[in-house]
Amino acid sequence: MSAMQPTYLHDYQPPAYRVTHTELKFDLSSSATRVTARLHVERHPAHQDAGALPLVLNGEQLTLKRIAVDGEELEADEYAQDDATLTVHRVPESFLLDTEVEIDPAANTALSGLYQSSGMFCTQCEAEGFRRITFYPDRPDVMATFSTTVIGDRATLPVLLSNGNPVESGELPDDRHFVTWEDPHPKPSYLFALVAGDLKKVEDRFTTQSGRDVTLQVWVEEENLSKTDHAMASLKRAMKWDEETYGREYDLDLFMIVAVNDFNMGAMENKGLNIFNSAAVLTHPHTATDAAFQRVESIVAHEYFHNWSGNRVTCRDWFQLSLKEGFTVFRDQSFSADTNSAPVKRIEDVSMFRTAQFAEDAGPTAHPIRPDHYIEIGNFYTLTIYEKGAEVVRMLRNLLGWELFRRGSDLYFERLDGQAATIEDFVGCMSEVSGLDLTQFMHWYSQAGTPEIDAHGEYDYAKSEYHLTLRQRTAPTPGQPDKVALHIPIRMGLVGTKSGQDLKMTVDGESVGTDTVIHLREYEQHFVFTDLAEAPVPSLLRGFSAPVKLRFPYGREDLAFLLQHDSDGFNRWDAGQRLAMLALEDLIAAHRNGVEKVMDVRVVEAFRTLLTGETDDKAVLAEMLTLPSEAYIAEQQPVVDVDAIHAARTFVKQSLAYALRDEFMAVYRANQLDAPYAPEPQQIAARSLKNVALSYLVAIEDEEALSLAQAQFDADHNMTDVRSALTLLTHSSRNDLADPALRAFGEKWSHDPLVMDQWFSIQVTRPQADALDRVKFLMEHPKFSLKNPNKVRALIGAFASNRVNFHRIDGAGYRLLSDVVIELNKLNPEIAARLVTPLTRWQRFDEARQELMKAELERIRAEDLSPNVYEVIEKALA
């Protein structure tokens, strides 16, 4: 089947024809929408001297009603159609192409192209959805201005939106009306958007630094009007930040955000008309947690930032996806760091990265930041492209320093404005402004897998020298057996064991200060620090200065020391995580060997110090008190033993709670807030600290703690506290407390889909053995639907993250997941391909589980698969 053939980066050719202007007319109706298109087409200059070139357009699931070139209807033998393309055999150098097609939005459950969600029409075109709307050269290097007329019923579709500015509107016969939109900025088809529905808006204004007056609108269903404040405020902050930080200004008079309930991803940066998953835009203190508020802020900013990093400068082809996504994630991370607690933002991002991206990089779907082939580009919206891409941009920022990096960014936006660019263009600008040779650095974009660094250090008392040896190695990944040495910047300090202070460092006779970057470029390198007054403990990879695994044979005393004294907040946190990991590893071994578990007192004492000491950053403290997750612990194990990990982590948590009950209780009580809820850093910090403390106390099912959790739930002050309390009760063994609370919550919020998502997730992530039965039961719940991606993620996705239950040794968890994947393969291939991920990680488990997981993959493979699922399954079973 042709859809299963890979596309290769090295096959890239400029398009034979380009479109300079696109006129579209949509006559909307549920199952028979008419799309009339007039394309202004001309031969691409790169193909000027070629002979007669056919015009090949993409098009899927379109019923062609009419086709004409320069007003002449084509005869049947003048063009050819298959299930993915339309070819016109002979066309002039420049011409008008008219087509008319019929499409069926109501039948579109894949949510790619034009579809319906809660009665409204909306689109998702990235990456290749536009070809389900009309015949078009659907590739990002074809950029045109658009003029779009949307026609719909006045009563059911009072609001008709598209990109750019509204230029005309009016009434039509049969109670229909129309609005015409014009987008003056040339754009690729993946940035096209249309929304039509019964929507209400909130409106605000923003004046740009050059004085352009911009109208800002957030469009939602009427019942959600009270949930838009935070998104609007976040948008204004993001607009200002991008002006101040990157000198980037908005370029239209109108900027719109629309919330839709059925959406495959978080949101989409369509020019002037961003479309959001309602979960990524709606917030209210009673329905959204602090984490949700922060997520909304960062996604609103992310999509807004794409207006420059993505839209004004777009990608030449989809292999360059990280050009816009990695850079834009880096920009949104910096924005969130500036707006909230910077150290906590870094800790959260790195925790997630080291758990999920490392797992991706170690699995069968590992790919470079710039892949060299794909079957289905929809499978490459990954943590590697986004998050590892952002880490690489961060390394560039650190290598150049902010000022040069900003100059490189200015050059990039200026030189490539209005163009479809490559990763070489971006890195080239950085190299040009700085004079740095980034040749070796470029391997970060083409080499998959996580580099592992083995570090060893020795202090020579006689010479007052510290010798540091670093070795790098990247394990083979599919298709890449041999790895080159990468350029790895390692930010570090040497902390004096006597003084507890960062020591002044001298390398090669040159003083480098108390915090420096050493550059590992070879497989093995040796660094000598001279004139050291005392023996140090090294603090390596400060701030996670490169996306690598770094091993150093730290003793527990060293880690306890760094936890107290490291001047780098990130590494203080990391020292605590490493210390906890050493204890957890002992306990995992004890569990496996059936010997009694003994708690490491050094961890208890470290926690006591944290709990009773002074703190100026409660948010960081809350992170320090959080044990590595089961998923993160699993990443560190050669063979994952889910039960031993769960038992060990529970044991540590309970031991800490027994030993430090009063301390946790004091922290809980000291961090109660009376003030009205606000999603601001100080309050968020207090709530997270309080709720972490409560989680320890409930872990030992302390009666007082259970009643505090119950009271916190009953007080109903804000969703962060309510959800936290409900989760603790539900994940305890006390069904007598959990059941009534769950019932009350479910009844109270049955009308609110985003709250019901949380209600589903809380139940199916409980460690008790009934979790799987609950999933089955809840799949029949009237508020559940396989057609809604948020519901699938909230119930099935959440269950797959419930490690002890998903990995049940009877295989019932795997079976449940594969049943859903098989169903979703027909309905929504993109979501199906994502959902199957946990099964693809089978190599990491014991043999019994490996066999069970592979059997489910084989069962999926026997189906008639979408390209999305096919590609993932073939890699997983290769």
The binding site for Zn ion (CB under 5 A) comprises 325, 328
Instruction: Give a three-class secondary structure readout of 472-484.
Output: EEECCECCECCCC
Q: Which does 568 bind (CB under 5 to 8 A by kind): Zn ion, ligand ARG, none?
A: none
CB of 759 to ligand ARG, least distance (A): 27
From 217, 264, 710, 761, residue interacting with ligand ARG (rule: CB under 6 A): 264
Alpha carbon of 553 to those of 466, 472, 572, 578, 606: distances in Å? 15, 15, 17, 11, 19
| Residue with the two structure tokens 């795997």 | 814
722 lines the binding site for ligand ARG (CB under 6 A): no
310-329 positions binding ligand ARG, by CB under 6 A: 325
Q: Which amino acid is residue 82, in one-letter code?
A: D
Only one of the segments 265-273, 290-298, 835-843, 860-868 lies at the binding site for ligand ARG (rule: CB under 6 A); that segment is 265-273
| Strand-by-strand arrangement of the 194-197 sheet | 113-117, 120-124, 194-197, 159-162
> Residue of minimal CB distance from ligand ARG?
381
d(CA 321, CA 837): 21
Query: Of 29 and 307, which has the nearer Cβ to ligand ARG?
Result: 307
**Residue closest to 124 by CA, chosen among 473, 133, 776:** 133
CB of 318 to Zn ion, least distance (A): 13
Q: Are strands 94-103 and 33-43 parallel, antiparallel or unpaired?
A: antiparallel
Query: Of 268 and 706, which has the nearer Cβ to Zn ion?
Result: 268
Q: Which does 381 bind (CB under 5 to 8 A by kind): ligand ARG, Zn ion, none?
A: ligand ARG
381 lines the binding site for ligand ARG (CB under 6 A): yes
From 378, 449, 493, 538, residue interacting with ligand ARG (rule: CB under 6 A): 378
At 232, is the secondary structure helix, strand, or coil?
A: helix
Query: Of 124 and 320, which has the nearer Cβ to ligand ARG?
Result: 124
CB of 277 to ligand ARG, least distance (A): 10
413 lines the binding site for ligand ARG (CB under 6 A): no
Cis peptide bond prior to 127, omega within 30° of 0: yes
Query: Of 280 and 796, which has the nearer Cβ to ligand ARG?
Result: 280
Give catalytic residue positions.
303
Query: Of 138 and 325, which has the nearer Cβ to ligand ARG?
Result: 325
- Provide the H-helix boundaries in 717-862: 719-730, 735-748, 753-764, 771-779, 789-792, 798-800, 803-806, 812-827, 829-835, 837-840, 847-861
Query: Of 331 and 808, which has the nearer Cβ to Zn ion?
Result: 331
385 lines the binding site for ligand ARG (CB under 6 A): no
268 lines the binding site for ligand ARG (CB under 6 A): yes
CB of 317 to ligand ARG, least distance (A): 15
194 lines the binding site for ligand ARG (CB under 6 A): no
Would you give the binding string for ligand ARG spanning residues 88-127, x where CB under 6 A is met? ------------------------------------x-x-
CB of 255 to Zn ion, least distance (A): 16
12 lines the binding site for ligand ARG (CB under 6 A): no
Rg (CA), the chain: 28
Q: Which amino acid is residue 868, in one-letter code?
A: N
Q: Which does 264 bind (CB under 5 to 8 A by kind): Zn ion, ligand ARG, none?
A: ligand ARG
d(CA 30, CA 760): 31
505 lines the binding site for ligand ARG (CB under 6 A): no
Query: Of 263 and 573, which has the nearer Cβ to ligand ARG?
Result: 263
Query: Of 361 and 387, which has the nearer Cβ to ligand ARG?
Result: 387
769-798 positions binding ligand ARG, by CB under 6 A: none
CB of 796 to ligand ARG, least distance (A): 19
d(CA 76, CA 175): 37
CB of 299 to Zn ion, least distance (A): 9
Residue 843, φ and ψ in degrees, nearest 5: -60, -20
Q: Which does 265 bind (CB under 5 to 8 A by kind): ligand ARG, Zn ion, none?
A: ligand ARG
Residues 866/825, Cβ–Cβ less than 8 Å: yes
Only one of the segments 259-267, 484-492, 512-520, 718-726 lies at the binding site for ligand ARG (rule: CB under 6 A); that segment is 259-267
**Residue closest to 80 by CA, chosen among 56, 63, 99:** 56
Query: Of 299 and 611, which has the nearer Cβ to ligand ARG?
Result: 299
CB of 257 to ligand ARG, least distance (A): 13
Helix, strand, coil percentages for the chain (3-state, nearest 5): 45, 25, 30
**Residue closest to 268 by CA, chosen among 320, 310, 232:** 310
What angle (nearest 5°) sits at the alpha carbon of residue 460, between those of residues 457 and 461? 135
Q: Which residues of 603-635 are buried (b: 16+ CB within 10 A; e: fewer)?
A: bbebbeebbeeeeeebbbbbbbbbbbbbbbbbb
Judged by CB under 6 A, the number of residues near ligand ARG is 13
| Residue with the two structure tokens 């906590």 | 344
CB of 133 to ligand ARG, least distance (A): 14
Q: Are strands 213-220 and 200-207 parallel, antiparallel or unpaired?
A: antiparallel
| Strand-by-strand arrangement of the 516-520 sheet | 516-520, 488-496, 536-540
Interface ranges with ligand ARG (CB under 6 A): 124, 126, 264-269, 302, 325, 378, 381, 830
